[in-house]
Structure 1
C-alpha cells in the first residue's frame, strides 16, 4: 500500500509539471490583459509601467521559471484584477463549490441508487421503462437549459424557491455553511438539483446494470436457497458487490462536479470557484486561471488515489501495489 502511494505521488508530480507547462503556455499566449486592466486613455509610459509591474515584459520561458520558483513556495501567482494571491481567492470561494458538489452528489446517490435497484429488480416492466426514460432525459438535456427551466418554474412561475445567491450562512460542526440555516438550505435546493441531474441518471443506470448482472449469479441463488429474505439478499449481497464500479465512477464524477460547476454557478449566481474562473477568463486574469487548473488537476489525482484505496477495501481480492 505504501509503495503504491509513493508511486502515485511521483506520478502526480510529473502530471502536475506537464500540466503546468501546457496550461501556462496556453493561457499566457492568448490575449493581452493590459488592454483590459489599463484605461484606454493611459499614456504609453503608464502602460509600460503596468507591463513591467505584472512581469509581462519578460520572455515566456522566464515567466514560467519564475512561476515554478514561486509555486514551490506555495505561491501560485497574484491576481491581476484583485491584487491578491490567486490561491487565496480560490480558497475563499472553494467551500461554496464543495458544499454545492457534496449536496449534489448526495442527491444523486439518494435518488439514483433506489431507482436503479427498483429498475434492476423489475427489468422490462413499466416501472423500469419509466425510470430508464427519465434517466435518458437526465443525460440528454443541456445543463444550462435545465437550470433556466428550474428558475422559470420554481422561482418565476411558482415563487417557491430563490433563484440566486447562497442565502444566510450558519455554523455546523465548526464549518461556515448554508446547511446550517433554513434560508441557506432553500437557496441550495435549485443549484444542487440542477448539478445532480446528470449524475443521478448515471448512478441509476450503473445500479440497474449491476443488479441485472448480479441477480443471476450462483451466490445469489444460493442465498435464496438458504431461505434468506429478499431484502437481505438485495441490500447485503447484491448492493455490496455492485458498489465497486459505482464507487469508482462516482469518485471521479465528484471531481467533475467541482471542476465543471461553472454553468450552474453562473446561472444561479452561486459564489463559488466556477463563477470566479468565468470572471477571470473574461478579464484575462491569467494567474487565477492557471492556479485553478492546477488545483483541479491535483484534486483529480487525489480523488483517483482515494478511489483506488476504497476499491481495495470493498474488494479484498484487489491488492494495491501488488504484482
Structure 2
C-alpha cells in the first residue's frame, strides 16, 4: 500500500506539472488583462510600463519559473479583479460547488443502482423499457436545457422551488459553509442537483444494466442457481458486488468530471460556485484566477482518481495495488 501511494504521488506530481504548464500557457490567448485593469484612458506608454512592472513582457519560461516557484508555496497569483490571492478566492467558492457535486452524486447513486439492477433482472418488462428509453433521451439532452426546463416547470409554472441562488447556509467547524444544513438551502439545491445529475444518471443506469446482465451470464452465477440459492442472494450479493467493480472505476472519474460540468449548471441557476466564478474570470480576463481554477480542478481529478484506485483495491482483493505477484 505504501509503495502504491508513493508511486501515485510521483504520478500526481508529473500530472500537476503538465496541467500547470498547459494552464499557464493559455493565458496569453485570453486577451489583455490590462484592458480590464486600467480601461481605455491610459496611454500606450503607461500600459507598457505597467506590463513591465507586472512581468507580462518577460519571456514565457521566466514567467512560468516565477509562477511555479510561487505555486510551490501555495501562491497561485493575485486576482486582478478581487485584489486577493486567486487560490483564496477559489476556495471560498469551493463549498458551493461541492454541495452541487455531492447532491448530484447522491441522486445518481440513489436512482441508477436500483433502476439499472431492475432493468437487468427484468429486461423485457415495460418499466425496464421505459427506463431505458428515458436514459437514451437523457443522454441526448444538454444540461442547460434540462436546467431551463426544470426552472420553467417547478419554479415558474408550479412555484414549488426557487429558481436561482444558494439560499441560507449553515457552517461546519465554523468555516465550511453548506446548504445541506438549512431547509432553505436544501430547497435551493434540488433543481441544480437534479440538473447536474442528469448528465451522468442515464450513463450509470445503462452501465449498471449492461454490467449486471453480463455478470448474470457468468459461470459462478449459473453454479449459484444450480445450488438452489435464493434469487435475492444471487442478485444482490453475488451479482451486484461484481457489477459494481467497473462502476466504481467509471464513477470516480465521472465525479471528478462533474466538478468541471458545474459551469453550465451554476450559470443557469446563478449558483455562486467555482464554475460561475470561472466564467466571470474569463469575461474579465482575470488570468491568475483562470489559471488557479484549472490547477485546482486538475488537483481534484488527481485526488479523486487516487481515492478510487484505493477503494477498488479494497472492494476487489484480487487487485494488487503495487504490482506485486
Deviations 1:244-293 (A, max 9, x none): 01100111110011122100000001110000111001111111111111
Structure 1 stretch displaced more, 273-282 or 165-174: 165-174
Query: Which residue number corresponds to residue 40 of structure 2?
Result: 40
In structure 2, how many angstroms separate the alpha carbons of the residues matched to 1:154 and 1:80? 39
**1:137-152 maps to which residues of 2 (within 5 A)?**
137-152=137-152
Q: Is the 8 A contact 2:208 2:247 kept in 1?
A: yes
**TM-superposed deviation, 1:137:** 1.0
TM-score by length of 1: 0.95
Query: Which residue number corresponds to residue 283 of structure 2?
Result: 282
In structure 2, how many angstroms separate the alpha carbons of the residues matched to 1:240 and 1:20? 38
Number of aligned positions between the proteins: 323
**1:167-316 maps to which residues of 2 (within 5 A)?**
167-171=167-171, 175-316=176-317
In structure 1, how many angstroms separate the alpha carbons of the residues matched to 2:116 and 2:292? 38
Distance 1:173 1:40, change over 3 A: closer
Deviations 1:36-86 (A, max 9, x none): 221222244543454344332323222111101101111011111111101
In structure 1, how many angstroms separate the alpha carbons of the residues matched to 2:113 and 2:284? 42
Deviations 1:186-235 (A, max 9, x none): 00000000000121111111110111111122322333344433222222
CA RMSD of aligned residues (A): 1.6
**TM-superposed deviation, 1:25:** 1.3
1:13 aligns with 2:5: no
Query: Which residue number corresponds to residue 129 of structure 2?
Result: 129
Query: Which residue number corresponds to residue 87 of structure 1?
Result: 87
In structure 2, how many angstroms separate the alpha carbons of the residues matched to 1:216 and 1:30? 53
Q: Is the 8 A contact 2:196 2:261 kept in 1?
A: no
Structure 1 stretch displaced more, 37-46 or 242-251: 37-46
Distance 1:173 1:223, change over 3 A: farther
For the residue of structure 2 that corresponds to 1:78, the secondary structure is coil
For the residue of structure 2 that corresponds to 1:176, the secondary structure is strand
For the residue of structure 2 that corresponds to 1:261, the secondary structure is helix
In structure 2, how many angstroms separate the alpha carbons of the residues matched to 1:243 and 1:296? 26
Query: Which residue number corresponds to residue 104 of structure 1?
Result: 104
**TM-superposed deviation, 1:9:** 1.3
For the residue of structure 2 that corresponds to 1:260, the secondary structure is helix
Q: Is the 8 A contact 1:95 1:272 kept in 2?
A: yes
Unaligned runs of 5+ in 2: none
Structure 1 stretch displaced more, 282-291 or 296-305: 296-305
In structure 2, how many angstroms separate the alpha carbons of the residues matched to 1:159 and 1:54? 50
In structure 1, how many angstroms separate the alpha carbons of the residues matched to 2:119 and 2:232? 15
Structure 1 stretch displaced more, 311-320 or 43-52: 43-52
Deviations 1:7-38 (A, max 9, x none): 22112211221222222112234311111221
In structure 2, how many angstroms separate the alpha carbons of the residues matched to 1:208 and 1:152? 32
In structure 2, how many angstroms separate the alpha carbons of the residues matched to 1:14 and 1:207? 33
TM-score by length of 2: 0.94
In structure 1, how many angstroms separate the alpha carbons of the residues matched to 2:47 and 2:82? 18
